[in-house]
Amino acid sequence: MTWQRSIPGLLTREVRINVPLDHSDPDDERGIEIFARVVATPEGTERPHLLFLQGGPGCESPRPSLDPVWPGWLGRALADHQVVLLDQRGTGLSSPVSEPLGSAADQAEYLTHLRADEIVADAEDLRAHLGIERWSVLGQSFGGFTALHYLSSRPDALRAVYFTGGLPAVGRSAEEIYAACYETMAGKSEEYYRRFPSDRDRVARLVGLAGQEAIRTPGGDLVGPSRLRSLGHLLGASGGAERLHYLLERDPGSRGFRHDLAGLLPFGGRDVLYTVLHESSYADGVVTNWAAARTLPGAFRADPTLLTGEHVLPEWFDEDSSLRPWKDSARLIAEHAWPRLYDPRALGEADVPCAAAVYAHDAYVPLHHSLETAALLPDMHVWITSEYEHNGSNASGGAVLDRLIRLADGRLVR
């Protein structure tokens, strides 16, 4: 493979391999293509490899640049590594799933093969194709969930593992996880209204208008009360509170409000798999059965100004035209009995240096669950910080990753 110089300051190589749709079934002849981009600096083509696992699920790997630096951690990573940016199966250029395929049952069955276990199997095929003996892994959010399965199944392939906002619960139900996330979002909502007191009345008014079917996107899609409240996902990222405030100060009948609202809603639109598969990312050997909807706390039912985060609700598949074709498949996914992803015994025997940035007020990955999981790993170095939100890896400009690298290799003691 020849290095390309099309991105200023970077060398890149594009890799495409064919893999089975179902790695566990040797008789399944269905195949898909996996795409990855290897990135290095001109002087770094012999450095060891770092595999990046993107958040999501259902989102492709970032497209790199150095002017400006994107993703924010890339410059730090390239100081020590060649970086492998993998489009997880079904996303980006890896046999992307953008439209429903066949019947709802056929589509749902296909989607069951897009989870962390199959992504790790793809990564192993990619590692073998590239001739890499061992590599390090950086997992952001859902990418960290995938990295933990990697540690459960193939620790021998790993030099080091870095988690940024992505140490998942092990052996916990989806209900427990969502209950903890709702509790965090209630606190973030109250913190937001202390900063912007007038916005509480604005949110109450908007929820009322949404209940009257008076809030719509520029394309005409209804935005109901629960979908409107999902704007709280913005509070889980640095700068998100300001983005929400600037939206709320607009006239809800204006063109600007409708367009900005459509751009800020977290589910639907471009990355539909993010919506359809989201609850499955929390399923460690359970059926989720619309857990986010079933565990909506009484406080949220009583107070419509409490905002939600990554809580997918089934009514959105009726409201949003981009989600409507996936409604029946999403129902079948919610009813699917998922296998276990994490093996506590194997994690306890994993002889791999690990470091994790655990964000104290993470809206999506509960702190206490992350610490329980960290305790399973014998060579884990945890950094708990309130300096950053869930997007700290990018927002810090590489400072988070730098700290994790130094923790894992012993240059920094907590």
User: Mind listing the pLDDT tens digit for each residue in 368-403?
Assistant: 999 999 999 999 999 999 999 999 999 999 999 999
CA dist 83 and 344 (Å) reads: 29
CB-CB contact of 85 with 77 (8 Å): no
184 has a pLDDT exceeding 90 = yes
Of residues 149 and 5, more confidently modeled: 149
Identify the pLDDT of residue 414.
62
Q: Which of 334, 369, 389 is the last residue of a domain?
A: 334
Q: pLDDT-derived band of residue 28, with 50, 70 and 90 as boundaries?
A: confident
Pair 41, 148 in one domain: yes
Identify the pLDDT of residue 327.
96
Pair 186, 329 in one domain: yes
Pair 16, 157 in one domain: yes
Angle (CA) 239 73 232, round 5°: 25
Pair 137, 263 in one domain: no
Pair 182, 270 in one domain: yes
Q: Which of 312, 334, 356 is the last residue of a domain?
A: 334
CA dist 108 and 33 (Å) reads: 19
Identify the pLDDT of residue 287.
95
Identify the pLDDT of residue 270.
85
Instruction: For residue 255, count other CB atoms closer than 10 A to its CB.
Output: 10
CB-CB contact of 152 with 345 (8 Å): no
Count of domains forming the chain: 2
1 has a pLDDT exceeding 70 = no
Q: Which of 334, 369, 399 is the last residue of a domain?
A: 334
Angle (CA) 385 279 171, round 5°: 70
Please check whether residue 6 lies inside any domain of the structure. no
Q: Which residue has the tokens 């046999």?
A: 95
In total, the chain counts a number of residues equal to: 414
> In terms of residue numbers, what domain contains 292?
174-334
Pair 270, 370 in one domain: no
CB-CB contact of 8 with 14 (8 Å): no
Pair 329, 399 in one domain: no
Q: What is the mean pLDDT of residues 207-232?
A: 96
